[in-house]
Structure 1
């Protein structure tokens, strides 16, 4: 098996750290409390559990991607700058669709406050904005 890449190691160390810190935090807050309730402070403990799961998810994703990829020039100790030359990937040009999607989300949120009829209008506009964003490379100037 290939050696793990540096970004995998960084997130693996973070995951291990959070796995150790989360129960310690729970026990320390339980001991510092008045003893009622039989547990630690739940808000911070829940946040640490979610942080642990997020770090584990990123670690798993990076490890999974590292297995599929060949060796990168930045991973080779004696690589030259020219080894990384060539196409680096596809970078999309400007797009107005994220703006429309955000505005329709704002209409949906206002619909929850002012009335469900406005929420339904926002959902309809959101479907249009999301469809435009997903299919923007199938038509127009940037079609391929």
Structure 2
């Protein structure tokens, strides 16, 4: 977890340094601090600190992963990657529904409502595809 931890810490340090720079630069150009951008930068800094601290504390309680050990070999990281569906039409239907919902912004809200209705069916089909048919378990 060391690489992930340092990624969040580095981003937090950057935003911690850039928040006052942003506030000062908007104050100098506009005569007052642009408050929304400053608040967003500060909140993002705080969220990155929170995630970095969580990963640091969690990483101390866990055993070191092969990526974190200097004496690890490639074979230490071998193992099952995960289970993937052999063939599924459901991602196609979900993508079609998302396209339909975005086209609803152009052609009318009625198309978005129809897309949401079909989307419930498509997401349910994708989520439950291994509970029926040839691949049921």
The residue that corresponds to 2:91 in the other structure is 98
TM-score of the superposition, structure 1-length normalised?
A: 0.69
Q: Deviation of residue 13 (structure 1)?
A: 1.7
* Alignment partner of 1:10 out of 2, 7, 10: 7
Distance 1:117 1:62, change over 3 A: same
> More helix per residue: 1 or 2?
2
Aligned counterparts of 1:49 and 1:99: Cα–Cα separation in 2: 40
Contact residue 8 and residue 62 of structure 1 kept, 8 A: yes
* Alignment partner of 1:22 out of 13, 19, 23: 19
TM-score of the superposition, structure 2-length normalised?
A: 0.72
* Alignment partner of 2:124 out of 124, 131, 135: 131
Instruction: Give the alignment of 1:110-129 within 5 angstroms.
Output: 110-129=103-122
Distance 1:71 1:19, change over 3 A: same
Query: Over the residues paired in the alignment, what is the CA RMSD in angstroms?
Result: 3.1
Aligned counterparts of 2:105 and 2:12: Cα–Cα separation in 1: 38
Which structure exhibits the higher relative contact order, with contacts defined as CA atoms closer than 8 Å and separated by 6 or more residues? Answer: 2
Aligned counterparts of 1:132 and 1:49: Cα–Cα separation in 2: 41
Q: Deviation of residue 90 (structure 1)?
A: 0.8
> What is the DSSP-based 3-state SS (H/G/I as helix, E as strand, rest coil) of the residue aligned with 1:70?
coil
The residue that corresponds to 1:31 in the other structure is 28
* Alignment partner of 1:107 out of 100, 111, 116: 100
> What is the DSSP-based 3-state SS (H/G/I as helix, E as strand, rest coil) of the residue aligned with 1:104?
helix
* Alignment partner of 2:63 out of 70, 75, 78: 70
Aligned counterparts of 2:29 and 2:123: Cα–Cα separation in 1: 49
Gaps of 5+ in 1: none
Gaps of 5+ in 2: none
